[in-house]
Structure 1
C-alpha cells in the first residue's frame, strides 16, 4: 500500500452517478442543436463542451458534458441524470428525425486526479479502453475516461471529485432540483454552457431575454460550513445572538459535498455573515478553469 498521497490520488477509480447517452444517426447533430442550449455546430469531431436541456420556461432539466464523436455520433456524459429516463423524455421530440437515442450501460466513467494522457481542454482523445476528457481546472488536474472497462470504487476520491466540481461552479443537481433553476441562476455562463446566439431551442427566448435585458438577480455562491450538507435555506445573519432574531432567508443550498456547497443567492448578497442548518457558514470564491 502506497503512503504517497499524490500517488494514491492519481489512481483510477469508478465515478458513481454518471451515465452515458449516445445520440446516433444522420440527424443526430441537427436534433441536438434544436433541443440543447449550447452551440453544437461549433464543435469539431472529438471536441466537447458543457451543455444542457431546458424546459420551455427556461429551467434546467439536465446538465451534461456533450462530446461530438463524429458527424453522426454524440455522447452525453450525464452526472446525476438517468440516461434511460432522459432518452424517454427526448424521444417525444424525435418525430421523423433519423436518429437513435441509446443509453450506453456498457460504458463506465473512470476518473483520476492526474494529467490526461492525451486529451487537452475541449479536445478529447482516444486512449486504450475508451475516450479521455480533460476535466481539470484551477484546482488541479483531472482526467475522465469513458470506457467499457470499470475501475474499483473509492468513496473518498469520489467525494473529492464532487467537491472539485462544486468548487469550480459545476452544480450537481439531483432530481429534486430538476426544472427549478435557469442557466443564469446557476451561473452557467462561467462554464460557457449555453448560447444566446445559436438560434431556437426550448427555453431560448427566456435565456436570451434575461441575458440581453440584464435581469439576472441571482447566481451561484460557494459556501463552507458544518451546516452546509443539510441543504437548508441560507440565512443572512449569524445563527446565534440578537442578529439571529432578525435574520431572513437569502438563498437556497442546491448541492453539497462534505462541508462545501453551492447556493443560489442574490448577486448583491455580499460576504455575509451567513448561516445554514442553524450554523455559521463562510463564502468562498468559485474557482475557474472548468469552462470548455
Structure 2
C-alpha cells in the first residue's frame, strides 16, 4: 500500500446519528485495495468469474459484483469499473489477498494479468461533492478519466478517486479549506447507510449473493452466460432457496460492532441466534449501526441485541427494495 496517507492528517470526525455531515469531505480510503486487470482476455475472463455482466458494462458506468466459489458462496463483493487500459475493482484490504489468489487461479489459461495497485484511493462526499468533481473532471457518465487515473461517481454527491499521489496532492491543495479531511470511518458510515455489503476474512465464503442483497443492488445478471457459482445463484432466484437477507440495524453498543459478531433475536421471552454482522459503525454517543445477515421471514416486531449484551436494537428501513429483486 502507498504511504501517501501517512503524509497527511485524516482525522476521525466526531459524529452522532443526527450530525450534519460536512458539505465537502475528502476521505482516506486506506482500508480499501484497488486491483487492476489487463490483457486481451480481461473482459471474457472476468465474465466467467463474476456475477455482473461486464460485457454490457458501459465505460461510463460502474457496477457492484460478487466473486463466488463453485458452491455460490461469495468470496468478496467488488466495485467494478473501467480504468485506464483495463478493468479495476475495489474491496476491503482485509480480504483482498485471498480474493486475488482465487480469481487468478485460472488466469494462466487466458491473456489477463492482475496487479495490486499503488494508486491513492480517496472518497469525495457531501452536498457539494458533485459540483466539485463535475467541474474538475469533464466528460459524460459516472466514470471519468482524471490526469492520472479514474473518478467514479457511486451515488449523487459521492465519488471514489483512484489517482497517483501527485494528483492527490494537487487535489488537496486546490480544495484547501473548502474540504474537511476524514479517515475511512466516514466512508464506512456512508456505505452502511447505503446498505452496501462488504465482506471480511470472517464473513468470506459464508453467504450466497442474494443473502447480501446484491440482486437488489444490480450486482447480478440473470441473463449472461455461465460463471462460477451460477447454478446456486439461479436456484436462489427461481426456486426460492434463499432464506436470508441483509438488514440495517441501530442500537447502543459499548464498542463498534465487528464483522463476524453475532446478533441475537427475540423469540417470545427467549433469545436465539439472529444473524451475522457484516460491518458496523459506532457514533460518539454510543449509538451504533450494523449491517446484519438474518432470516428474511422475521416478524416486524422482532427485537434484536448484540450477543452478550442487553441493549435492544431496531431494524431500520433499507434504502432500496428487496421486493421482486
Q: Is the pair's TM-score, using the shorter chain for normalization, greater than 0.5?
A: yes
Moved more, 219-228 or 205-214: 219-228
How does 1:1-292 map onto structure 2 within 5 Å?
A: 8-69=22-83, 73-81=86-94, 83-105=96-118, 107-113=119-125, 114-115=129-130, 116-117=133-134, 118=137, 123-136=142-155, 141-149=157-165, 150=168, 158-227=184-253, 229-231=256-258, 232-237=261-266, 244=269, 246-258=270-282, 259-271=288-300, 272-277=302-307, 278=309, 279-288=311-320
Task: Determine the C-alpha separation between the residues in 2 that align with 1:172 and 1:283.
Answer: 19
Does the 8 Å contact 1:84/1:103 carry over to 2? no
Return the offset for 1:219.
Answer: 0.2
Alignment CA distance shift 1:73-1:222 (3 Å): same
- Decide which moves more: 72-81 or 192-201: 72-81
CA offsets 1:47-80 (integer angstroms, 9 cap, x no match) = 321112100000110111111247x611112234
**Structure 1 residue 285: Cα displacement:** 0.8
Could you tell me which runs of 5 or more consecutive residues in structure 2 were left unpaired when the two chains were aligned: 1-18, 173-179, 283-287
Deviation at 1:155, TM superposition (A): 8.4
Number of aligned residue pairs: give it.
Answer: 274
SS at match of 2:82: strand
8 Å contact from structure 1 (residues 38, 193) kept in 2: yes
Following TM superposition, the consecutive aligned residue runs of length 4 or more in structure 1 with deviations greater than 4 angstroms are 5-9, 81-85, 118-122, 154-157
CA RMSD of aligned residues (A): 2.8
Give TM-score, length-normalised by structure 1: 0.84
1:130-184 Cα offsets, whole Å, 9 max, x none, are 31111225xxx211111012468x8855222211212222112211111111101
TM-score (norm 2): 0.76
Asked whether the 8 Å contact 2:257–2:290 carries over to 1, the reply is no
Contact 1:222–1:285 (CA<8 Å) still a contact in 2? yes
Paired residues of 2:250 and 2:316 also in contact (CA < 8 A) = yes
Q: Shift of the alpha carbon at 1:269?
A: 1.3
Q: How far apart in 1 are the matches of 2:94 and 2:46? A: 17
- My pick for the range that moved more, 176-185 or 272-281, is 272-281
- Cα displacement (A) at 1:198: 0.7
- Give ranges in structure 1 of 5+ residues lacking alignment: none
Q: Do 1:171 and 1:262's aligned partners in 2 also have CA atoms closer than 8 Å? A: yes
| 1:1-53 CA distance string (max 9 Å, x none) | xxxx9895513231121111111111111111111111111112233211121
Using the TM superposition, name which of 10-19 and 110-119 deviates more. 110-119
